[in-house]
């Protein structure tokens, strides 16, 4: 309960009921979503509406995704597993924003490498997760097209920005049978899931219609400048 006397328990339970009604079935995802206090990732003036199924503006032209999208992408990322707890060794997240999706992913992996191109958002995400005592997410200010670790393979990759086509380098960074969950497209976007089997065969599936910010190359130091943008990738 906050200083105004508003309690979040009921509205958080309502959010879980709404996610069930919208088709989220993985109890592991629902459990994680129920434990992450979404209101702490947005402005206090919006706390009473934090658990509605809608996105909210945060900083620098970015948004926090609606609960359904966070749950759906997480569900797709782990759908080939059935164990509980931290089922992965490492996950890569691109476009971590304020850290809400990162917090949900922290329930499923020993380590989450999270990359965000806008520096102030990196600092905000670090603060948000520190306040929640989440210590297995490692944020980096970097370019989502190239600034992840190239010497390891990931158990899963989740991207919260939309390229026109998915980068082949991300597929190459997957362990066998791991999944890349990524929105793809321009004005019209689809949530794509790409995986590679032991024979190095690529499988691509398309799911929900979505609307994400474009995946831009380069970095921004202050949220107002876009550095090293390659127009041919937009």
Residues found in the chain: 234
Listed residue (164, 158, 149, 139) closest to 216, CA to CA:
164
The two three-digit tokens of residue 110, written as one number: 């020993």
**Is-catalytic flag, 130?**
no
Evaluate whether 37 touches 8 at the Cβ level (below 8 Å). yes
Catalytic-role residue among 65, 106, 109, 195:
65
DSSP character for 184?
Answer: E
- CA angle (34, 50, 91) in 5-degree steps: 50
Listed residue (43, 216, 27, 171) closest to 108, CA to CA:
27
DSSP character for 47?
Answer: G
Q: 59: Cβ–Cβ under 8 A, 6 or more apart, which residues?
A: 98, 118, 120, 121, 124, 223
11/157 Cα distance (integer angstroms): 30
65/16 Cα distance (integer angstroms): 15
Please identify every residue annotated as catalytic.
65
């Amino acid at each position: 309960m906050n200083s105004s006397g508003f309690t979040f328990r009921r509205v958080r339970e309502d959010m879980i009921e709404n996610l069930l009604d919208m088709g989220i079935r993985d109890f592991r995802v629902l459990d994680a979503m129920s434990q992450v206090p979404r209101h702490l990732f947005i402005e206090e003036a919006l706390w009473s509406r934090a658990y509605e199924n809608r996105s909210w503006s945060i900083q620098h032209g970015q948004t926090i995704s609606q609960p359904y999208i966070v749950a759906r992408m997480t569900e797709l990322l782990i759908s080939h597993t059935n164990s509980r707890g931290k089922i992965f060794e490492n996950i890569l997240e691109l476009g971590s924003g304020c850290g809400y999706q990162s917090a949900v992913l922290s329930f499923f992996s020993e380590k989450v490498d999270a990359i965000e191109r806008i520096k102030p958002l990196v600092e905000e995400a670090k603060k948000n997760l520190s306040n929640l005592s989440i210590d297995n997410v490692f944020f980096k200010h970097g370019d989502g097209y190239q600034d992840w670790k190239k010497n390891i393979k990931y158990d899963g990759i989740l991207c919260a920005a939309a390229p026109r086509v998915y980068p082949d380098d991300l597929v190459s960074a997957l362990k066998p049978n791991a999944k890349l969950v990524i929105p793809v497209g321009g004005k019209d976007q689809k949530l794509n899931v790409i995986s590679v089997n032991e024979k190095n065969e690529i499988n691509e599936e398309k799911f929900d219609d979505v609307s994400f910010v474009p995946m831009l190359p380069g970095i921004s130091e202050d949220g107002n400048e876009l550095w090293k943008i390659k127009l041919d990738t937009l």
